[in-house]
Chain A
Amino acid sequence: MNTKLIATLVAGAALSLGAAAQTGPIRIGVVTPLSGTYAGIGQQVKWGLDMAANEINAAGGVMGRRLELIYEDEEANPAVAVQKAEKLFQVSKVDFLTGTVNSGSTLAVGQVAERNNRLIATTVSFADTITAEKCSPNVFRVNARAGMQSAALAEWMASTKPNASVFYLGPDYEMGRSTVAAFKAAAEGKGAKTVGEVFAPLDNKDYSPFFGQMRSARPSVIYTSVAGNDTVRLLTQMAEFGLSRNVQIVGASGTVTSQNLSAIGKAADGFVTGVGYTPNIDNPENKKFVGAFEAANKAKPDLYGADSYGVLFFYKAAVEKARSTDTDKVRAAMRGIQWATPQGVKTMRAGDHQAMQDMYAVRVNSGQFEIVGKVPASAAIGPDTCAKF
């Protein structure tokens, strides 16, 4: 064949290969539980990410490059999450990774990210340690952490029920206990009294053995940090036994969510919690977001869906600010950056990679999360205790 033709072809091929590195899609790995107990949360994460990716790509992508999402199922097991994360980094060569739900997975995958010199962001894990004692320079968090949720709730409780007598019921494992402890500290700091504290086993079926204690303590407020199926059982059984009359029930943000709300039904009415998001937030951005989300998925977004939607805009803003997808440049750009979300404008605190946002106290009423209180970002965030960078 004609040597000139061959040379041109080869040159053309080489050029386009080189160009592909800069104009090919930006790959984002998502390691999220698509099966197992947390599949419902993983579903919201997927919906939020898909919607954000579609919107960003329709508007021209990030620096002209499309976003491509690659999903792997972590089965809510850190051992599997680590394996899948490594696969995404090494084989699929993703530039960024998100989607981990439980804190064990986020911490372990953060380590993998450090080894592969990539960044990850979590949109669900709320354990304080992730951006405190166990913080990592490669891990960012765009959702509110447990301390922020407690701050919003404690503030609301102090203003509506001053000097309340509180009874605590939590699931007996690290997360349940520390959530109870965090809220107790915040509440007692604002004048509340503790009249009882009890811990039930995780996946406990029957809470009736605790009701005797609860009743005799005569609390005005009951705080619980159970989640998922345990919440369904606790709240419905409390209603059955007539314990929810004349008592204000409050809890952690993961206690009543869109996954278990329909199963709890009427027994959830009146429940108040502190969260970073509710579909009822009244601003034009959120209304547009909720409308589009419902149309696409036939379900309302919850905090997991909304925060997952926001994380791609966070990444987009950082890459555009850094004018590159190089890890160190993006990390520097992420620190201190502000970006628009359906909840308003969030700021990424540079010291510990924790996003700052306004927090809301919401009350459940006939399947809706109504806003009953608000705490500004600076008051809710709490101190920066990350000492690693």
Chain B
Amino acid sequence: MNQVLEWLQFVLAPQMINGLSIGVAVVLMALGLTIIFGLLDVINMAHGEFYAIGAYVAVAILGLGLSFWWALLLTPVLMAALGYVTERGLIQRVFHSKDRHTLTLLLTFGVAVVLEDVLKIIFGANPLRIESPIPGGTEMLGLFFPNYRLFVMGMGGLVIVAVWLLVFRTSLGAMVRAAAFDRYMSASLGVPVSRVYAGTFAFGVALAGVAGVLLAPIYSVFPTMGRDFVLIAFSVVIIGGMGSIKGAVLAGLLLTQIQSISSLFISPVWNDPLLFGIMVLVLMWRPQGLFGKLGHA
């Protein structure tokens, strides 16, 4: 009995807390992606690159001598501007064709290719790092856990709650959901639909940027970092249901827990195939994911 309790405390619990910190990171990424798809019907293959740009923007801000907290504050603003411009300048142009899904996927894919090389030109190919703003750790459950990771979990949780409140409890959020549900009706009711679209895209991009800043001290910064999260973010969004915030959060936390706990028993090399397998099964059984679209959530 004692052995089981020990195992639970010293092996399983730390693993689950680790899984939670990874999970919050994944959810932040998946949130932006699902909002962009849920409203705009746009598959943003460049989402990983926006995450990378967020991290690099933070590096640049720190390079100017400002503190990490300024970077955390300013990066989402800058990323939102970038997102707005991207949506207005590029995505709008292919939006009205009947092949919208394919074209936006291809367009954002091309944008991702270009952005990755641009980052390499500006910042060089070698990895960079931001010092952790909250050094040290706390002793929890007999395990030493870094303070900054606890902060990221807390901050990430706050962001998720804030997003949910914004979308479901404010009139701005109501406008966004209305435009997702029926754009022509909303337009005739006075909702500035094209600005709402651009603004939502900007918001999703800003979320990716926030993820980039928060995770930079943990995962370091390098030009191909955008690819780190692509597969898992898309899988989470698909399993949770494209456009569903609740789905993204639940699926994100659940899947990272599954990965964490399973790596106690099988080699972590199987994490990705496991995830992929779950995604295929979910698609076969319930093609729209666990929960519904943004407009209907």
- With a cutoff of 8 Å between Cβ atoms, the chain A residues found around residue B128 in the complex are 262-263
Task: Note all chain B residues with C-beta closer than 8 A to A228.
Answer: 127
Flag whether B220 is at the interface (Cβ < 8 A).
yes
User: A204: which B residues are within 8 A, CB to CB?
Assistant: 268
Any B CB within 8 A of the CB of A71: no
A199-B269, A209-B260 given; A260·B224 CB < 8 A: no
- Decide: B129 and A236 in contact? CB cutoff 8 A: yes
Residue of B nearest to A171 (CB): B269
Which residues of the partner chain A approach B258 to less than 8 Å between Cβ atoms?
none
Assess whether A241 is in contact with B125, with CB atoms less than 8 Å apart: no
Residue A232 interfacial (CB < 8 Å): yes
Contact with A along B3-24 (1 / 0, CB 8 A): 0000000110011001101100
Q: Could you list 12 examples of A-B contacts with CB < 8 Å?
A: A39-B120, A205-B219, A208-B18, A209-B18, A212-B14, A229-B222, A242-B144, A260-B127, A262-B126, A263-B128, A263-B129, A263-B220
Q: Nearest A residue to B222 by beta-carbon distance?
A: A229
Closest to B225 in A: A229
Cβ-defined contact, A205 with B137, below 8 A: no
Least distance between A38 CB and chain B CB atoms (Å): 8
B73 shortest CB reach to chain A, Å = 24
The yes or no answer to B148 lying at the interface (CB within 8 A) is yes
Q: Quick check: is A54 within 8 A (CB to CB) of the other chain?
A: no
Given the complex of chains A and B, what is the CA–CA distance between A201 and B218 in angstroms? 17
Tell me the smallest distance from the CB of A241 to a CB of chain B, in Å. Answer: 6
B-to-A contact residues, CB < 8 Å: 10-11, 14-15, 18-19, 21-22, 117, 120, 124-129, 131-132, 137, 143-146, 148-149, 218-222, 224-225, 227-228, 260, 263-264, 267-269, 271-272
Task: Give the number of residue pairs across the A-B interface with Cβ within 8 Å.
Answer: 91
A241 touches B146 (CB 8 A): yes
- What 8 pairs between A and B have smallest CB-CB spacing? A39-B125, A263-B127, A240-B146, A263-B129, A232-B220, A208-B18, A40-B126, A259-B126
Kindly identify, within residues 177 to 226 of chain A, every residue whose CB is under 8 Å from any CB belonging to chain B. 199-201, 203-206, 208-210, 212, 216
Contacting A229 at CB < 8 Å: which of B22, B127, B148, B268?
B127
Taking the closest CB of chain B, its distance from the CB of A300, in whole angstroms, is 13
| Interchain CA distance A43-B263 in the complex, whole Å | 37
Q: Which of B18, B148, B220, B227 has the most CB of A within 10 A?
A: B220
How far is it, in angstroms, between the C-alpha of A333 and the C-alpha of B56 when the chains are bound? 51
10 additional contacts (CB under 8 A) given A36-B125, A240-B149? A37-B125, A209-B19, A209-B260, A209-B263, A212-B143, A229-B127, A229-B220, A233-B219, A241-B144, A264-B129
Chain A, Cβ-Cβ closest to B128? A263
Count the A residues whose beta carbon is within 8 Å of the partner chain — how many?
A: 34
Q: Which residues of A contact B (CB under 8 A)?
A: 35-37, 39-40, 43, 172, 199-201, 203-206, 208-210, 212, 216, 228-229, 232-233, 236-237, 240-242, 259-260, 262-265
Closest to A257 in B: B126
B267 touches A172 (CB 8 A): yes
Asked whether B132 lies within 8 Å of A201 as measured between CB atoms, the reply is: no
Q: Which residues of A contact B129 (CB under 8 A)?
A: 232, 236, 263-265
Our pick among A199, A200, A206 for the contact of B18 (Cβ within 8 Å) is: A206
A204 CA to B229 CA in the complex, in Å? Answer: 11
Q: A240-B132, A240-B146 are in contact. Are A199 and B127 (CB under 8 A)?
A: no
Give complex CA distance A241, B146 in Å: 6
Which B residues lie within 8 Å of A237 (CB)?
A: 218
- Of A37, A172, A212, which is in contact with the most chain B CB atoms at under 10 Å from its CB? A212
Q: By the criterion CB–CB under 8 Å, are A212 and B126 in contact?
A: no
Interfacial chain A residues near B220, Cβ < 8 Å:
229, 232-233, 236, 263
Contact across chains for A260 and B126 when beta carbons are under 8 A apart: yes
Complex contacts, B11 vs chain A, CB 8 Å: 212
CB-defined contacts of A262 to chain B, threshold 8 Å: 126, 128
Please indicate the chain B residues that have their CB under 8 angstroms from the CB of A35 in the complex. 117, 120, 125
Give A154 Cβ to nearest chain B Cβ, in Å: 26
- Of A40, A172, A200, A263, most buried by chain B (CB within 10 Å of CB) is A263
B15 adjacent to A212 (CB under 8 Å): yes
Q: How far is the CB of B35 from chain A (nearest CB, A)?
A: 23
Is B219 a contact of A240 with CB atoms below 8 Å? no
Most buried by A among B10, B129, B149, B224: B129
Say whether A201 contacts B269, CB under 8 Å: yes
The answer to whether A201 and B271 touch across the interface, beta carbons within 8 angstroms, is: yes
Given the complex, which residues of A lie within 8 Å of B126, measured CB to CB?
40, 259-260, 262-263
CA distance A201 to B268 in the complex (A): 7
Residues of B within 8 A of A40 (CB): 124-126
A216-B120 Cα distance, complex, nearest whole Å: 40
Residues of B with C-beta under 8 A to A36: 125
A212 to B18, CA, bound (A): 10
User: How many angstroms from the CA of A259 to the CA of B124 in the assembled complex?
Assistant: 10
Give Cα distance in the complex from A131 to B120, angstroms: 34
Docked complex Cα distance between A233 and B132 (Å): 13
Task: Please indicate the chain A residues that have their CB under 8 angstroms from the CB of B218 in the complex.
Answer: 206, 233, 236-237, 240
Contact of B137 among A39, A229, A233, A242 (CB under 8 A): A242
Across-interface contacts of B268 in A (CB, < 8 A): 200-201, 204, 209-210
Q: In whole angstroms, how far apart are the Cα atoms of A233 and B220 in the complex?
A: 7
Complexed CA–CA distance, A279 and B148 (Å): 36
Q: Contact between B219 and A199 (Cβ–Cβ < 8 Å)?
A: no
CB distance from A172 to the nearest CB of B (A): 5
By beta carbon, the residue of chain B nearest A33 is B125
Task: Tell me the smallest distance from the CB of A382 to a CB of chain B, in Å.
Answer: 30
Which chain B positions have C-beta within 8 A of A216?
10
Residues of B contacting A242 in the complex (Cβ-Cβ under 8 angstroms): 137, 144
Measured between beta carbons, the chain B residues less than 8 angstroms from A229 are: 127, 220, 222, 225
